[in-house]
Amino acid sequence: MQKNPVVDIDSPRIGRSLPHALSVAEVDSILALPEKITPLILRNYAMLHLLYATGLRVSELVNIPVNGCNVSSGYVRVLGKGNKERLVPFNAAASERIEDYLERGRPALLKKRPSPHLFVSNRGKAMTRIRFWQIIRELAVMGGITKKVSPHTMRHSFATHLLEGGADLRSVQMMLGHADIATTQIYTHVDIKRLKAIHQKFHPRG
């Protein structure tokens, strides 16, 4: 054929996958502190609480310096993509877990060894991304969650729950460290999906 018969036909749009987020109840079950407390438990739950409270990327979380976390003010200073620095607030629950870790967990792990990192291993070294991936999966199982949970799951949950609670998109963009608000807008689809479910459940002709 001399002419392409499909030249004027638009290519199909590939749907963008929606972020997977946990429910608030599921997050609460993961964040619940176990009865047995060790320095590693204090560190792990401090990291988990801070992750959900701030929506940090896992690379940002493991690289937080000690002087980058202000527990009394409830702010953490992180270095994101493109070496862009931002301040992200965190809640009282995260402050409590971090303070407990700084008092009882971190000194026990370091054994008087110096380290500029907030979160350290039992060898006094900086935490790694891979190790925290393993830890968060272990904590999810301990919390009774059968779904696959990763640090990114908690980041998605952070953004989704903020928007569901009425936070504006621009504020969520700043906290997530997105350069373009279009990246943050994917979470509005999550909220729209929830609203559609509510509409179908409660509307007389839903």
Catalytic residue among 97, 155, 156, 161: 155
* Residue 3 is among the residues annotated as catalytic for this protein: no
* Structural domains in the chain (count): 1
| Position 12 in a domain | no
Q: Quick one: pLDDT at residue 42?
A: 97
Q: Quick one: pLDDT at residue 138?
A: 93
Length of the chain: 206
| Position 6 in a domain | no
**From CA 49, how far away is CA 32, in angstroms rounded?**
10
Q: Quick one: pLDDT at residue 197?
A: 73
| Position 71 in a domain | yes
Residues 6+ apart with CB under 8 A from 157: 21, 22, 27, 52
* Residue 81 is among the residues annotated as catalytic for this protein: yes
Q: Quick one: pLDDT at residue 107?
A: 96
* Residue 156 is among the residues annotated as catalytic for this protein: no
Q: Quick one: pLDDT at residue 167?
A: 86
Mean pLDDT by 10 residues, the chain (206 residues): 70 59 93 93 97 94 94 91 88 96 96 94 92 94 91 91 86 86 72 67 69
**From CA 98, how far away is CA 50, in angstroms rounded?**
8
Q: Quick one: pLDDT at residue 136?
A: 95
Q: State pTM to two decimals.
A: 0.82
Catalytic residue among 43, 156, 161, 178: 178
* Residue 155 is among the residues annotated as catalytic for this protein: yes
Catalytic residue among 43, 45, 49, 57: 57
| Position 33 in a domain | yes
Q: Would you say 44 and 109 are in contact if contact means Cβ atoms under 8 Å apart?
A: no
| Position 2 in a domain | no
| Position 144 in a domain | yes
In the sheet where 85-89 sits, what is the strand order? Answer: 69-70, 75-79, 85-89
CATH number at residue 44: 1.10.443.10
| Position 1 in a domain | no
Catalytic residue among 45, 52, 101, 187: 187
| Position 17 in a domain | no
Determine the structural domain holding residue 174 and report its residue range. 24-202
Catalytic residue among 81, 131, 189, 199: 81
Q: Quick one: pLDDT at residue 179?
A: 82
Q: Quick one: pLDDT at residue 58?
A: 94
* Residue 152 is among the residues annotated as catalytic for this protein: yes
